[in-house]
Structures are given as C-alpha cells and as structure tokens.
Amino acid sequence: MCIEKLALFDGPKAITTSFKRYNSIGKEEAKAARLVVESGNLSKFLGSREPDFFGGPKVKEFEKQCAKYFGVKHAITVNSWTSGLIAAIGAIGIEPGDEVIVPTWTMCATATAILHWNAIPVFADINSDSFCIDPISVEKNITPYTKAIMAVDIFGQSADLNTLMSIAQKHNLKVISDTAQAPGAFYKTKMAGTLAHIGGYSLNYHKHIHTGEGGILVTDNEDLAERLQLIRNHAEAVVDGKDIKKLKNMIGYNFRLGEIECAIGIEQLKKLKGLVSSRQVVANKLTEGLAGLSGLQTPKINKDCSHVYYVYPMKLDTQKLGISRSRIIEALEAEGLVGLMAGYVNVHLLPIYQQKMAYGSNSFPWSSDICHRDVNYSKGICPIAETLHESTFMGFEMCLHQMSDPEVESMILAFKKVWSNIDSLR
Ligand SMILES: *Cc1c(COP(=O)(O)O)cnc(C)c1O
C-alpha cells in the first residue's frame, strides 16, 4: 500500500496529467459535412404531405442505419432528445391531467416533456445499486390517472425493462425509455432503449456519439412511428384526410434535424461500438483497481446486461469510513483528479415542482381542474435518491475524458493513497 503523504497535506500529487477531453469528431465527419454543404441541400424537409415530408437523403439514410443498428422497425431523427421526449409523450396519446411516472434521477427534460402536454409528472425513487427507476416505487405510485412510465437508463445501464413492461401491461400503461446516456448498452439480447413502446437517444455533444445537437427516436410500432413523424413536422398541416382518431395531440412542432447533422450522425454511428468499448475497457480497469477499498462500491451491473459508462457510478459507505463524501472528494481532487460528481440531482426538488409553478403564475397545470389530485413533491418522497444525492453517491464523468493507461493507473493510485491515509482525514 502507498503510504505517501496526501497531496491535501502537501505531499506529491498522484495524478500529474490533465485528462484530455474526448473528441470523436474527425476527418470522416468533416468530409461528410463538407459534401452536404457543397450539395447546397442543408435540409429538404417540407411541412406538407409529399415525400419530402420525411426529410432529405441524409435524414433518411441516417434513420435507416439507426434502425438497423438498434434493431428496430423505425428510427426517427429529431433536433434534440428533449424534442424527442416531447414528441414521445404526445405520440402515446396523453391527455391533459394524466399522470406519468418518472424517476427523480434524470435530466430535467424527461419530466418537463410531460408538463409540455399539460400532464403531471409523478416522481418515483431509484434502485440503490443501478440508480435507475425502482419498479417497486413505480407500482406504489400508480393511480387510476397514471398513463405512462418513463424509464431512464441512467449513467449507461438499462433500467429493469422486463419488470417495467410487465407492470405496464398489468395496468395498461405505455413505457417510454430515455436512453440518452446508454446508446449501445445491452439489456439481455436487446439494445437498451428498444424494449419500451418508444425509446431513444441524445446526439448532444456531451453524449457517447453526437452531431452537436440532435436525437433519435426508436419504436417497433407503426402507428406510434407515424405520430412521431407528424409531431416532428407540423402535424396539423398534414392530418387532413387522415383517420380522425389520429387527430389527438396532432399539434406539431418543428423538431426536424438537418442534413449536415445526419451526415455527421452516419459517421458517428459507425464509431459507437468502438467508443463504447473504449469506455468499458477503462471502467473495467478502474473496477479492478479499486476492488478491495473498504467502504467504496464500484458499479453493479445487472445480470445479462452491459454498462456503457456515460458516468462511472460509485457509492460510499460514509458510516463505515467515518468520513464525509465531501472530505473524500477534497482529498481526491487535491491528488489531481478532475471529473468527480458529488451526488447527482433530485428533479422533484427543483423549484418548478417545489413551487408548482410552470405555465404562468397560477400553478397551472396543478391548480387546474384537469389535475385529478394533489400530487406530492415533498422532500422525503424519494428517500433512496435523496440520501444518495446528499451524502453517498460519487460519480466520475467517464464519457467526457479520454484516458491513457498510465492515467487510469494514476487515478487508481489517487484512490489508494486516499484510502490508505483515511485516518488522517478524519
Ligand atoms: C442529455 C439528456 C437528455 C436531453 O438530451 P438533449 O439532446 O440534450 O436534449 C434527456 N435525458 C437524459 C437522461 C439525458 O442525459
């Protein structure tokens, strides 16, 4: 064991390089983008019922490649995954005042997508090992007004989709999978995001693959695919003459992704497998190197599933360690480690939910007749997520960094140094 003096107490730093920011955009993307620019066709979408309603050649090609890669019947590009989530909630036929269950550990857009259709987010707690939505908490939160569940594949591992789908079937609910952080992860034999009625991925520049901004919706359902395409592209202008029952929620947006982004996306998709496996290699080295550090839990991966490590999630047993998370992070950062996350987020505790203030200043939609009951967003409704956020969860931003072998070794060394000097931190 390394008993060297901690950098916090003026010892030498374990990490002496700064981890490079990952950049997966290369010559291939530059060439693809240039060819589109030279063609003059930066977008070919038309908001009327003709072949170009579905976009130009790069949009169609990228969607075809995505459908093949993820193993689904339909892939539909959108200009962000936030747009994708909004389109998904509309497409499943949500009514104002319907309740949708969402985990409190997610990016805020998962929950606000529900509000955008005047429906009501209901927050479920998370599993303390996977950090994904807890099916037991989902069942507890089901009311006669519940219409859907949003599963979030947080940090790069799929939520427990088989259990969620059987709960959904029992209660006649739809499931939407927010797989923004986990493209390429496997849930048994299928790809994360493809087990729900609608799933999808973000193409924002923070994510595994990106086009700057963008998103991909996936579904095997013909009817849902059509609704998603309509909402993406000014539905109201093209529904005339269509089956009347499909008019519900046919308020369209402009959620279209351009030709340049899709041309870049085609190149990025080819790199996805390699990018994911490079992160898995680093994560596996870390897990091996950190094994045996008392009071530190490394990622737990569900049986027959894979993790793509958007974030490398850890948990501290602060009681056993007799020291706070902030003190440990302080010591690790002093060793030169960047990219640590102290906790994640509790979306239910954001001001929008605490004050129930969304549309206007009158607490709409919660204050209106469309809301069936007084929904509780108090601190305490998601005890596991709250405790993890406040004191025991620690993440490392894996996706952001490109780490060499010596850098991974130095990160492991930083942890070992801190752990072997833990008494001096108390
Ligand atoms: C990034 C992210 C989003 C939003 O995606 P954008 O493409 O940035 O709009 C939604 N949900 C989760 C879980 C995310 O990580």
- What tens digit of pLDDT does each residue of 199-240 get? 999 999 999 999 999 999 999 999 999 999 999 999 999 888
Q: Which residue minimizes the CA distance to atom 6 of ligand 1? A: 81
pLDDT bin (cut points 50, 70, 90) of residue 3 is low
In angstroms, the CA 15 to CA 310 distance is: 22
Cα 319 to Cα 329: distance, rounded to the nearest angstrom: 16
Please name every residue paired with 402 in a beta bridge, in sequence order, or none if there are none: 20
Give 241's pLDDT tier (boundaries 50, 70, 90). confident
Tokens 């996306």 identify what position?
265
Tell me which residue has its CA closest to atom 8 in ligand 1.
204
Q: Per-residue confidence at 399, pLDDT binned at 50, 70, 90?
A: very high
DSSP string of 324-354? -HHHHHHHHHHTT---EEE----GGGSHHHH
Pocket of ligand 1 (CB under 6 A): 80-82, 106-107, 109-110, 152, 178, 180-181, 202, 204, 215
Atom of ligand 1 nearest to the CA of 82: 9
DSSP 8-state secondary structure symbol assigned to residue 51: G
Across 114-141, average pLDDT: 98
The amino acid occupying position 50 is E
CA count, 13 A, side-chain hemisphere, 267: 18
Cα 139 to Cα 163: distance, rounded to the nearest angstrom: 11
Q: What's the gap in Å between 112 CA and the centre of ligand 1?
A: 12
Quick check: 290 and 409 in contact, CB under 8 A? no
Report the pLDDT averaged over residues 332-339: 97
pLDDT at residue 246, rounded to an integer: 73
SS3 of the chain: helix, strand, coil, percent, to 5: 40, 15, 45
88 to 102, 174, 249: CA distances (angstroms): 14, 10, 11
54 φ/ψ angles, rounded to the nearest 5 degrees: -95, 10
Measured in whole angstroms, the distance separating CA 24 from the mean position of its chain's CA atoms is 19
Per-residue pLDDT reduced to its tens digit, 277-299: 999 999 999 999 999 999 999 99
Distance CA 285, CA 405 (A): 9
The pair of three-digit structure tokens given for residue 310, joined into one six-digit string: 């958007």
206 CA distance to ligand 1 middle (Å): 9
Other CB atoms within a 10 A radius of the CB of residue 111 amount to 24
Residue nearest to atom 2 of ligand 1 (CA): 180
pLDDT tens by residue, 6-16 = 999 999 999 99
Residues 6+ positions from 406 with CB-CB distance below 8 Å: 17
Give residue 1's pLDDT band: very low, low, confident or very high (50, 70, 90).
very low
Q: Residue 164 pLDDT > 50, yes or no?
A: yes
Protein residue whose Cα sits closest to atom 11 of ligand 1: 107
Query: What is d(CA 172, CA 398) in angstroms, rounded to the nearest whole number?
Result: 38
